[in-house]
Structure 1
Amino acid sequence: MSPIDAINTAKTLVATEPDKAKAMLLEILNQHPEYHDGWALLADIHKRLQEHEQQQSALKQYEMIYWFNKQLETAKQQLNNQNPQQAQQIIQQLLQLVPNEYRALETLADIAFKVGDSKAHLAISKHNLENNSQKQAVIENYCQALLTTKQFNELISFYRSSIPSPTLYIESLLAIAHVKLMQFDQASAIYNKLLDANYYPAQCHLRIGNIEKIKGNTELAINHYKQSLQLDNKLGEAYWNLANLKTYVFDNEDISNLEQLTQAAKPHLNSAQFYFSLAKAYEQQGNFSLSFAMLDKANRIQKSLTPYKPSDFYSRCKKHLTEKPVANNNSDDSVQLIFIVSLPRSGSTLVEQILASHPDVDASYELTEINAIARELESKKRSAMPYGLDELSDKDKAHYAARYMNFIAPLRGENKLFIDKQPTNFHHIALIKTLFPNAKILEVTRDKAATAWSLYKHSFSEGHAYSYDFTSLAQYINDYTDLMSHWDTLYAGEIYTVDYQNLVNDFSNTVAELLRHCNLEMHENCINFYNHQRPIMTPSSEQVRQPIYKDALTQWSNYKVHLEPLLKLLK
């Protein structure tokens, strides 16, 4: 029985069995003193039993804990309102009053995460565990911290060694860790276990469907998405995942359901996904005007939920990074790192699949470790220089390079070449080249109109808030172009460009040149890349399992009349 349930049960006993209610409350509050409602009820029981001294004591506890809880709530509100400093001040005051109070420590860890200090986030969560190991919420939050800081192996190890009775929530975190380590059989087994326990079954089918999609089992993926919708026909993510399969065609029943859902929908991510999915259905019917109308509604909802906040990072890079930073002189050259960058939806997954088909190359998924290192460095810097590169010692550079290499170690095989395909790493080319001066940078470019259209029609699970509005989308693409031009100047001859149009129109020659640049011999697997069976964890997984086709080059033109305002904004 949860503390709240126990307090409510005690409340029903006050009139008839006050002594029993008191005993129940004393037991609960001894373990969970943070429930101020319990102290108020206990004071009332003492009053009924004419235990005036105990009543006064309980009232004092109620007043102190009520005030503490209100302060804690205020701190959380400040954090939600993007005021982490004010939130931290409140929490530090509370921790001076009640050292190691577990909820205050949880909030302090959340503050660290919000400002991008993943190291502090994990350290505070671990400190909380060391001081409040009996609290289930603390154990769960530590597991969540391990997951959010990408300590996937550590989470699995902690689960096996230190959690004798894991909650179903912890099991769900474990499944995510296995997915991130590309251990899909283990993840599927956990999700099936959660299904047996009836733990969010619609979500479990959704996650199993995603795993089957990653593995290339499209029909199985569709089956699980359908089962998910049978359990919860308002699950927008399931509809969007079907739309995003590219090969799935919505039938009349699907369209009718989506039309009904959009009519009753309120503005939230789920309803936006209804509109994105319906747009795909109308596109399949050739009704491009109606399709665009649905996209317009979807993007308006997304924009209201995740407004875009432009960063000064681009201007800081161009202003302060005018000379190459001093590179790490202890770089590990036993691995040839290949970083693939681009605007999202530009063909980077195709380039990755071609290279990953080569027997001498290892590849993984869209890694975020470079971004995590960048966020940590940005949170610590004292100068205007991006990442504080002018402050990094040789020891610092070696440390962060080793951290990255340790992160990719379980994702690698025996090959020397390893691909890190993360489009948004284009921000961090100076950081990459500082830590790994011998790394190869591949930039994938595509026609701007096609890229912009592909971004606008896509529902991203997180990030990419710029893509939901023509003005911010054009600004992002223009900023990308300017920044890549800056990197090309700073690292002249060190960034190799793969043009998507050339890849489609002159496939063999473009692939041959790409392989030569990567010091790889031509291999037939790279030509027949669509036969290469490997997990692909991006929205383009279906396309790259098919031979090259040219339809994507001009698909945007079906919407040209609607896209004119956007096209005028692009440089």
Structure 2
Amino acid sequence: MTLPKPGPSPELREARRLLGVDPVAAVEYARRAVAVEPQSFETRFLLGAALRRSGEISAACAVLAPLATVRPAAWGLHYEYGTALAALGRSDLAIAALERATSANPQSSLAWHALGDQLALRNRADAAVAAQMRVVPGYVGDAALADVASALFAREDPRARAALWTRFGLDLNDVAAVRLLADIGMRLGHFAAVEPLLAAAVATAPAFAPARFSLALTLHRLERGAEALTAIEPVVEAYPGSAMVVGLQAAIHMQLGNVAQAIDAYEGVVRTTPEDSEMWHAYGHALRAIGRQSDAVAAYRRAIAIAPGSGEAWWSLANLKTVRFDAEDIARMQALPKAASANPGDRAYLDFALGKALEDERRYAEAFDHYARGNAARKRLEPHDAAAHRRFVTQSIAAFDTSLFVRAAGAGCDAIGPIFVVGMPRSGSTLVEQILASHSQVEGASELPTLTALARDLATANPGYPSSISQVPLETFAELGRAYLKQTEVYRSGDRPLFVDKFPGNFLHGGLIHLMLPNARIIDVRRDPVACCFSIFKQAFARGQAYSYDLEDLAHYYRDYVALMAHFDTVLPGRVHRIVYEDLVDDAESEIRRLLGYCGLAFEPHCLRFFETGRNVRTPSSEQVRRPIFRDALDQWRGFEPWLGPLIETLGPLARPVTDRP
């Protein structure tokens, strides 16, 4: 008679149960199981897995390493061992282990994802992409996984954690699984929800570079540059030759305005990986910001030479506004959209670049066709909710009334430092900032994300905002003012008492600015409405300007902007200073004197020679503000007038030169 094999010990069963929910307790039970069955592969494997999940990485490696030599086909073992090695920063050994795991189980998204991370850190770009492509069928196209991840991130549904474990095998105590889940969250746009998950993974395994990298990337996308830089620095120290890592560090430096540091980083990357088109492209942006135009052109051209189908690189070259494409360039761009490799994003950028090239040739009908195609493609990728925007503006006009400002008088922070330059993009705001930054008392800080983030937090804490603004405790406004000043320190490099924040969309928060910083200056820059709107329409913004992809949406957005600013002129008379771009062109000195007087500044002649001011400029107008004021752009839109009917009709009475100057 054959005796039945004994079942797993009670200790082993309990260790299995606890592994996904309480790995520290699982370690204790696994150790007891090993004491009972010291030669058992499963008990030792479970102990190693529990040790890794509980953050005892070195101990996990000590347990798993001997097992890996005798079980070459146990994919789960090699996955555990590989991710433990990765968490210790031992990438080469981790790659070998994870390659064994993926060979033994080619269906494991977890193993492929972890392998791709390690290959990318070692600049093995093609192999990393191939590994990540093996992940795609496992989660990108899995609607059920996306639903569960969305429930976890967007709705914080406690059942989602259990569902991730039971349905997909994603253990949130496993830092590699967390890294995979964070990738899903970032693809879904849940950056704020992903951050604490990644922070916990970094705390568990401080040397696990992929988690630190993802945390830095998440903070970068959340516009929290100083924290992102702190997060990425240990990864740069561990992998100084990784283009992916150093490239992110450079991008964060750019976000913070540290352009010289960004250039140093990019130069190191393009030396190490000279065939990386994306790094040459990013390097070109940094060179452009610091005024090295010819070097920027060379960098963009190098990016195009490496990847001729890179529509974004072609657009960056066009976006310099000073480069004229020749017939060969135009022919190459016209051929590219027909190529099978051209993706929708690249095709859109190519259309914008071709529009600019053909406009320079005065081939207006063809140029407009390409601008329209590019905008239509961008609109499909980033739709605009015009009704929601109009609702916000209407509610702001109702909520930010005279009685609110009377009741809140004196409640804000009394600092005088900030100068907010607001309005529409492409209206001349970069020029106004450059003029102000040419003054000895003013620093130009460019377009800051700070006010938008504070307003978003205020709305989260006060449902119904802006309608609920009257319910906000008065002391909150001073707190917000101080928070703004504190959070913007990282973007300032000098000791000048005043600084310019020229994020155009801050016009939406004009009332909030007055409540939190009643002594701050607010400057509204206007330009001929049709000229301004069409200039926006032919500009391929990186993101965040979804209203700009349709002429009627643009006109409605402009009308909402004018209505809101007119309201502030009524309830806060004299509070906002308006500059009309055409007036600045016609009589620069008078307008500059008027501007400086509003800011409480003495006139300085150097402000008239703003184009000689050496500073970083990171907006589409960077090249224009390095030249004297010119008139040639005032009527550029007229060549396109036959196709601008929807814009002009929707603007209605506003489709005429600006006349109101409070």
Radius of gyration: which is bigger? Answer: 2
> Structure 2 residue aligned with 1:478, among 529, 539, 559?
559
Whole-Å Cα distance in 2 between the matches of residues 555 and 126 of structure 1?
Answer: 50
Task: Give the aligned residue type for 1:331.
Answer: C
Alignment of 1:212 with 2:287, yes or no, is yes
Q: 1:115 to 1:206 in 2, by over 3 A?
A: closer
1:78 paired to 2:162: no
Q: CA offset at residue 389 of structure 1?
A: 3.1
Shift of 1:379: 2.7
Q: 2:509 matched to which residue of 1?
A: 428
Q: Structure 1 pair 152/307, CA: closer, same or farther in 2 (3 Å)?
A: closer
Distance 1:150 1:140 in 2: 15
Residues 1:249 and 2:324 aligned together = yes
Write the deviation string for residues 368-390 of structure 1: whole angstroms up to 9, x where unpaired.
111111222223323x2318534
Match 2:78 to one of 4, 10, 27: 27
| Partner residue, 1:386 | 466
Task: Tell me if structure 2 keeps the 8 A contact 1:115–1:379.
Answer: no
Q: Which residue of 1 aligns with 2:538?
A: 457
Shift of 1:177: 1.6
Alpha-carbon separation, structure 1, partners of 2:509 and 2:250:
30
1:397 positional shift: 3.3
Kindly indicate whether residue 413 of structure 2 is the aligned counterpart of residue 331 of structure 1. Answer: yes
TM-score normalised over the length of structure 2:
0.72
Cα deviation digits, residues 264-308 of structure 1 (max 9, x gap): 365612111111111111111111111111112212211222221
Partner in structure 2 of residue 91 of structure 1: 160
Superposed, which structure 2 residues align to 1:4-83 within 5 Å? 20-22=71-73, 26-30=77-81, 32=83, 74=143, 77-78=146-147
Does 2:521 match 1:440? yes
Question: What is the correspondence of 1:277-316 to structure 2 with a 5 Å cutoff?
Answer: 277-310=353-386, 311=388, 312-316=391-395
> 2 CA distance for matches of 1:270 and 1:71?
21
Q: Which moved more, 1:72-81 or 1:541-550?
A: 72-81
Selected match of 2:442 from 346, 361, 377: 361
Greater shift, 389-398 or 249-258, is seen at 389-398
Q: Does 2:365 align with 1:261?
A: no
Which secondary structure state, in structure 2, belongs to the residue aligned with residue 519 of structure 1?
coil
> What is the aligned partner in structure 2 of residue 407 from structure 1?
487
- Find 2:477's aligned residue among 393, 397, 403: 397
Say which SS state the counterpart of residue 635 (structure 2) adopts.
helix
Give the secondary-structure state (helix, strand or coil) at the position aligned to 2:522: strand
Whole-Å Cα distance in 2 between the matches of residues 491 and 105 of structure 1? Answer: 50
Could you report, residue by residue, the CA deviation over 1:228-254 in whole angstroms, capped at 9, with x for unpaired residues? 111111111111111111111101111
Q: Label 1:235 to 1:327 Cα distance change in 2 as closer, same or farther (>3 A).
A: farther
Calculate the TM-score normalised by the size of structure 1: 0.83
Distance across 2 between alignment mates of 1:393 and 1:492: 25
Cα distance in 2 for residues equivalent to 1:300 and 1:319: 34
Indicate how the Cα distance of structure 1 residues 70 and 115 shifts in structure 2: closer, same or farther if over 3 A, else same. closer
**Paired amino acid for 1:261:** L
C-alpha distance in 2 between matches for 1:449 and 1:545: 25
| C-alpha separation in 2, matches of 1:152 and 1:570 | 38
CA distance, structure 1, for counterparts of residue 148 and residue 577 of structure 2: 42
Partner of 1:240: 315
Could you list the runs of 5+ residues in structure 1 that have no partner in the other structure?
A: 1-16, 45-65
Q: For residue 5 of structure 2, what is the aligned residue in structure 1?
A: none
Instruction: Provide the rounded CA distance (Å) in 2 between the counterparts of 1:21 and 1:532.
Output: 65
- Deviation by residue 1:62-114 (Cα, 9 ceiling, x = unmatched): xxxx9xx8799546633898996467455344479755454458757986997
Q: Secondary structure at the match of 2:633?
A: helix
Aligned residues: 527
**Highest RCO, 1 vs 2 (Cα 8 Å, sep ≥ 6):** 1
Amino acid at match of 1:340: V
Letter of the 1:447 counterpart: D
Take 2:105 and 2:303, find their aligned partners in 1: how far apart are those partners?
A: 45
Ranges in structure 2 where 5+ consecutive residues have no aligned partner = 1-67, 85-97, 108-134, 653-662
Question: Which residue in 2 is equivalent to 1:137?
Answer: 210
Distance, in Å, in 2 between the alignment partners of 1:386 and 1:106 is: 37
* Structure 2: distance between partners of 1:190 and 1:556: 40
Sequence identity percentage: 28
Distance across 2 between alignment mates of 1:229 and 1:71: 29
1:187 maps to 2:262: yes
Q: Is the deviation greater in 109-118 or in 538-547?
A: 109-118
Distance 1:267 1:141, change over 3 A: closer
Change (3 A) 1:148 1:516: same
Secondary structure of 1:520's counterpart equals coil
Per-residue deviation, 1:196: 2.9
